[in-house]
């Protein structure tokens, strides 16, 4: 197994892309440190991976990435003694345009979607240098396309993309790679923050619209993102850094006509 006994730290691990990463890396024999705020959800995830016969008990860290970066890294190192892969997945969106955006919402999104990634990376560097490890950030096509009513979220992901490339250049001499996946519409509970519950009529309409909008004529699923994250994290990708890998069915390259 390509990730056997590698220590993988995953933020936002209790739902969506994060929990799908947990299942994948657990099956690959990784030693997991899982970060999130929902202890109840983690209980379900741990029971699920144990059901696969996986004996490596993951380290669950109940924390807010925007304020607990030092503790997250220290508890991971205390448990495992090293860190091989950091997956910065935690993030969220609150709708708002330039006219309606509340600055408290702006600050919260920037704190989680950008500042937390910077701080966790800073805390992790010394350990990743020791293992020649790597970082995979989870961005969004919102950072490279322009859409109404998600101003701060789009700004945060554009900042994350630039951080990914700059950090990759700075850490390359230390043999630490930094890349990002750039998903479009992925079928998760992410859109609940916009009042769109999965299975509801509005969500179904959004799914249909995205099927029509994507050149591949389907929406994305968590497995699509996990496969891309795993590809970038593998040792076999050790000549790949500073890449923003679209996982978007071609939508970010789609022209206006």
153 included as an active-site residue: yes
**DSSP string computed for 122-155:** HHHHHHHHHHT-EEEEE--GGGTS--TTBHHHHH
CA-derived radius of gyration, the chain = 18
Two tokens at 148?
A: 């109404």
Catalytic residue among 153, 191, 203, 221: 153
Whether the Cβ atoms of residue 12 and residue 35 lie closer than 8 Å to each other = yes
DSSP state of 57: P
Q: How many whole angstroms separate alpha carbon 130 and alpha carbon 150?
A: 39
Burial degree of 121 (CB within 10 A; 0-12, 13-18, 19+): buried
Best CA proximity match to 90, nearest among 32, 135, 133, 36: 36
Two tokens at 185?
A: 């519409």
Placement of tokens 């009042």 in the chain = 195
178 φ, ψ (degrees, to nearest 5): -135, 120
Best CA proximity match to 214, nearest among 121, 164, 145, 132: 145
**H-helix or E-strand spanning residue 226:** helix 222-233
CA distances from residue 127 to 38, 133, 166 in whole angstroms, order as listed: 27, 8, 19
Catalytic residues: 153
């Amino acid at each position: 197994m390509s990730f056997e006994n590698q220590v993988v730290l995953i933020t936002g691990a209790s739902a969506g892309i994060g929990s799908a990463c947990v299942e994948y890396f657990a099956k690959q024999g990784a030693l997991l440190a899982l970060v999130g705020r929902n202890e109840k959800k983690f209980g379900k995830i741990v029971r699920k991976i144990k059901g696969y016969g996986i004996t490596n008990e993951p380290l669950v860290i109940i924390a807010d990435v925007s304020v607990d970066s030092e503790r997250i890294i220290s508890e991971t190192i205390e448990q495992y003694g090293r860190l091989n892969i950091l997956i910065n997945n935690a993030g969220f969106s609150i709708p708002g345009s330039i006219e309606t955006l509340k600055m408290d919402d702006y600050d919260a999104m920037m704190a989680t979607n950008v500042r937390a990634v910077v701080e966790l990376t800073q805390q992790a560097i010394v350990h990743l240098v020791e293992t020649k490890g790597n970082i995979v950030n989870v961005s969004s096509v919102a950072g490279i396309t322009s859409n109404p009513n998600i101003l701060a979220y789009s700004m945060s992901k554009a900042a994350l993309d630039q951080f990914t490339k700059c950090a990759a250049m700075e850490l390359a001499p230390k043999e630490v790679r930094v890349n990002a996946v750039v998903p479009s519409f992925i079928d998760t509970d992410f859109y609940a923050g916009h009042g769109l519950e999965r299975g509801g009529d509005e969500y179904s309409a959004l799914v249909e619209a995205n099927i029509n909008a994507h050149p591949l004529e389907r929406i994305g699923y968590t497995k699509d993102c996990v496969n891309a994250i795993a590809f970038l994290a593998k040792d076999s990708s050790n000549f790949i850094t500073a890449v923003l890998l679209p996982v978007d069915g071609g939508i970010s390259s789609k022209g206006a006509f």
